[in-house]
A = this chain, B = another copy of it.
Amino acid sequence: MAEVSSQILTIGDELLSGDTLNSNMAFLGQRARSLGLDVRRVLAVLDRVEDIDAALREAAREADVCLVSGGLGPTEDDVTTEAVARAVGVSLELDPAALARIEARFRGLGRVMPASNRKQAWLPRGAERLDNVEGTAPGFLVRLEAAGRTRVVACMPGVPRELERMMMEEVEPRLLRLFDLSPRPRRIYRVMGMAESEVAERLGPVLGERPRGAMVHYRARAPEVTVVVDAVAEGAAWLAGLDEPVGRVLAGALYGLGEADLPTRLVRALARTDLRLAVAESCTGGLAAELMTAVPGASAVFCGAVVAYLDRVKEEALGVPAALLRAHGAVSEPVARAMADRARERLGGDLGLGITGIAGPGGGSAEKPVGTVHLALSREGACDHRAARLPGNRAMVRRSAALLGLKMVWDHLVAHGLAARDV
C-alpha cells in the first residue's frame, strides 16, 4: 500500500499571534493519523490571499491530501475560498444549494440572512460542497487529477465544533473512498504515580524490538504518564500482544488502557458498585471534587466535598479536633486521616478521601517544604494513609495531589475486585 501523504493548513491571524491555542491543528492531526494518512507538515498562515495561495501550492507539490481550516466566514477577513480558487486556477461560482441552506439556517433562527453571508455560498468552480450541520459556512472539497495521481484539498470552517463534525462526517468518508487507506492501530497506556524515566526504563525491554513503522511516545503531565504506541497495519499483531507484558512491568501504576482518564474510570467503576465518595480537601481547594463532578453521571457516586481552606473550617465545618491541628499542624498524617473520616461521616459517603498539603509558593518550611502532601482514604473500620513530596509549582502540586488522592480510591477498588484497568 502506497503512503498517502498529507499536510494540515490552518488559517487565521490569531493562530500566529499566539492569541489562540491551535486546537484545530491537533484535532486534524489526530484524525489524519488514525485514518492512516502520513502527516508531514502542519502550519498556520495569516488571513492573506498571497500567503494562503503560496502555502497551498507548496502543499500540493508534496502532499496527496491537504486539510484546511479557517477563513470561510462572511467578513472581508475571510479569504480562504478566494485563495484556494487562485491556487487551483479556477473562478468562484455561486452554489444555489449552499445559498438555500444558509438562508434556511437564518430562517430557522427567526432572522433574515444578512447580505454579507451570501459570500459564503460562492465556491471554487468544480468543488464539491460539504454541508455544515453546526453553522453557516459550507466547506468544500477540491479534487485534482494530474499524471495519474489524485490530490485533494478539503476546506473546513475554523469554529472547532463545525470543523470537527464536518471532518468526521463529510471529509473522512470521501477520503476513504478516494484513497487506499488503512487506519493505524494504537494502544494507550495510562500510568499514575511513576516518573517518566522509570516508566521508560521498565518498558525498555518490552518495547525495544518493534516492527517497522511502530512508534512509542511518552506524554508526561504530572502525576500522569501516558504511553502511546502506534503501529502500521503490519504491526497490529505485535501491538495486540503488548497489554500483558506492559501490565506486568508497570504493575499497579498502570491504571487504564485507552482514552478515558482516571476520574472518568472512577465514576464508572463506582457506579457499578453501591459505593459513594465524599472528599475533604485543603491544598487542592476543590480540584478533586471538580475533577469528579466534571464527569457526567457523577451525582450517582459523589456526595460532595468540604473545601477546608482555613483551619477554622477544618474544625467547625468538618469537625477535625482543634487539638489535632495544634499538635501536628494542618499538613500531617493525623489531620489527613481525620479529614477523610469526617468527610465520610458528615457527607454520608462510603469512602472518604482527605487531602492536605502545601501547594506553595508560600507556606513551606524546612520540615514541611512546599510539595508536602498527606492523603488518606477512610472506609468503615479502616483508614489508609500516604505521604508524598510532590515536585513543581503550585498548579502542579495541586493537580498531582488531587489525582493521587483519586488514585488511592481507584487502588482500593482494584484491590477489592471492584475495578480493573482494562474495563
Set of chain B residues within 8 Å of A13, measured between Cβ atoms: 215, 217
A304 contact from B30, B217, B230, B310, Cβ within 8 A: B310
Does A182 reach chain B (CB closer than 8 Å)? no
Within 8 A of B (CB), among A1-59: 8, 13-23, 25-33, 39-46, 51, 55, 58
Set of chain B residues within 8 Å of A286, measured between Cβ atoms: 286-290, 293, 305, 307
Does A296 reach chain B (CB closer than 8 Å)? yes
One of A138-146, A237-245, A312-320 at the interface: A312-320
Does A404 reach chain B (CB closer than 8 Å)? no
Set of chain B residues within 8 Å of A228, measured between Cβ atoms: 19
Set of chain B residues within 8 Å of A394, measured between Cβ atoms: 294, 296
The answer to whether A42 and B28 touch (CB under 8 A), given A293-B309, A302-B309, is no
A298 contact from B14, B285, B292, Cβ within 8 A: B285
A230 to B16, CA, bound (A): 13
Does A348 reach chain B (CB closer than 8 Å)? yes
Does A347 reach chain B (CB closer than 8 Å)? yes
Does A174 reach chain B (CB closer than 8 Å)? no
The reply to whether B362 and A296 contact each other, CB–CB distance below 8 Å, is yes
The answer to whether A348 and B312 touch (CB under 8 A), given A40-B51, A45-B41, is yes
In the assembled complex, 10 residue pairs joining A and B whose CB atoms fall closer than 8 Å, in A order, are A14-B219, A19-B217, A21-B21, A22-B22, A41-B55, A294-B398, A296-B394, A304-B308, A313-B347, A317-B317
Interface residues of A (CB under 8 A from B): 8, 13-23, 25-33, 39-46, 51, 55, 58, 215, 217, 219, 228, 230, 279, 284-290, 292-294, 296-299, 302-310, 312-313, 316-317, 346-348, 360-363, 394-395, 398
- If A40-B46, A285-B289, A304-B306 are given as contacts, then 18 extra A-B residue pairs at C-beta distance below 8 Å, sorted by A number, are A14-B219, A17-B29, A17-B33, A17-B39, A17-B217, A19-B29, A19-B228, A21-B26, A43-B43, A58-B58, A285-B293, A286-B293, A286-B307, A304-B310, A305-B309, A306-B307, A316-B348, A317-B346
